[in-house]
Structure 1
Amino acid sequence: MSYNILFSYAHPDDETFLSACLIHQLAEAGEPAALLLATRGDAGSKNGAFGHLTREQLGELREEEMERAARVLKLGQVTHLGFPDGKLAEVDPGSAVDAIAETVNRLQPSVVFTFPPDGCNYHPDHMAISRLTTEAVVSGRCPSVRQLYYVMSGALHEEGRRPNLVIDTAPLWAMKAEALRCHDSQILAIMRHFGPLETVLDDRRFEAFALAWEQGAMWPEKSEAEARAALRLP
């Protein structure tokens, strides 16, 4: 089955942290998205209830958590590439780009979302999946893809980049909080970022994305209305 939109991230829960409401809105508009995850998240932090798990057990648990979150988000499909968590930057780049391109070409999306080059927080895995996904797309190996979006970050703002698409999470916060809670093994890290989840914090309210590439051109000019229309969002 093909999907018009693909999100390419490093770990289970990245999709919910960064784009839960966009993913849900796409599904509600009749465009359920697909998700590619480079790792199983088996090197992630563990709160007290899960501290006894081995890495293999944590990886299995995080895949199960991802399945639950996918149902909340109304994701159409999730692909796990299974590269080493915490060591994605050490994977042979040719093999990694091959795996990403194979997934993209199987799903045939026209739009791909991923981390910006700085990974939003300079996490090596986040930076690696940005670099590898960008290489797969802009190299011409994924001919179905017409647009590549980056999640907005402080570093992009400092470069003078501005978002082409901004999603207000407040109307859908209950849904996003439910999806975040599905990633229970990471709940302490989630609460450090978002607070107790009962209400959305002002500085975590918006999901924002910048159009980095379109049909061979880097950083094309595009209004938010044009971006929404291309994604079939209201």
Structure 2
Amino acid sequence: MEKHVVVIYPHPDDESFGAAGTITKFRKQGVSVTYLCGTLGEMGRNMGSPTFANRETLPEIRKEELINACKALDIDLRMLGYRDKTLEFEDRQTVAEHLKDILEEIEPSLVITHYPDYAVHPDHNALGAAAVEAVRHMDETKRPVVWAQAISNNFPDVLGKPDIVNDVRDIFDKKMAAISAHKSQANGVLGQFQQNPKNKAEILEGAKKALGKERFYIWDYDK
């Protein structure tokens, strides 16, 4: 059993869409989980329909949503304070050192992050790369295992079969609760629930099909 799991993603909602089921499985085992969230997603385009936010208010809204999602998942939260859509321009080694300091404090046995170059968004790729580097620079005897999540369309063709495939459909209610906490981002799905109540089961099944399996590669530091 893992001692402590640290999840490192750049945006509020990345943890819920990407790994909420896996996180839930760890919490059910009594494993502590800490989320290191890179930014507040303040440059997100989704302002609601009808509009409920603007560029000035969105950061606080997404911060509150993030806190609520972490409560739903029963995990600790640390906000790293970077700016949305700028992580690719940060010095990678500086970010890696920042992460390394936190990891050495927490001493996790497992780190979950994005797979660099196969995570679609520049922030995903940049923070994933910094997380991989952070662990690389740690004392080898204290290094946590790294699970890297690829989400680009071509990742199976390039990277092969994932090492870890967690089927989380049996606990999908917990994943949906976490996703639903991010109302500004999950608005489309939630809107369908509200507008078409007869289709609720169908929509839920569609969500399960798309998000019911969480896949990770174990990072090989010997390459």
Q: In structure 1, what is the Cα distance between the partners aligned to 2:174 and 2:144?
A: 30
The correspondence for 1:206, drawn from 190, 213, 217, is: 213
Change (3 A) 1:12 1:93: same
How many corresponding residue pairs? 209
Q: C-alpha displacement at 1:141, in angstroms?
A: 6.0
Q: C-alpha displacement at 1:80, in angstroms?
A: 0.7
Residue in structure 2 matched with residue 147 of structure 1 by the alignment: 145
User: Partner of 2:112: helix, strand, or coil?
Assistant: strand
Q: In structure 2, what is the Cα distance between the partners aligned to 1:146 and 1:207?
A: 20
Q: C-alpha displacement at 1:191, in angstroms?
A: 6.7
Q: In structure 2, what is the Cα distance between the partners aligned to 1:68 and 1:29?
A: 22
Answer yes or no: is 1:137 the counterpart of 2:138: no
CA contact (8 A) 1:17 1:180 kept: yes
Q: In structure 2, what is the Cα distance between the partners aligned to 1:183 and 1:43?
A: 15
Answer yes or no: is 1:40 the counterpart of 2:40: yes
TM-score, structure 2 normalization: 0.84
Q: What is the aligned-residue identity percentage?
A: 24
Task: Give the counterpart letter for 2:110 in structure 1.
Answer: V
Structure 2 regions of 5+ residues with no counterpart? Answer: 192-198
Task: Give the counterpart letter for 2:216 in structure 1.
Answer: F
Residue in structure 1 matched with residue 91 of structure 2 by the alignment: 92
Residue in structure 1 matched with residue 106 of structure 2 by the alignment: 107
Q: In structure 2, what is the Cα distance between the partners aligned to 1:136 and 1:50?
A: 39
Q: In structure 1, what is the Cα distance between the partners aligned to 2:188 and 2:141?
A: 37
Task: Give the counterpart letter for 1:209 in structure 2.
Answer: F
Answer yes or no: is 1:165 the counterpart of 2:189: no
User: Partner of 2:27: helix, strand, or coil?
Assistant: helix
Q: C-alpha displacement at 1:201, in angstroms?
A: 4.0
Change (3 A) 1:42 1:143: farther
Q: C-alpha displacement at 1:212, in angstroms?
A: 1.3
Change (3 A) 1:189 1:139: farther
Residue in structure 2 matched with residue 231 of structure 1 by the alignment: none
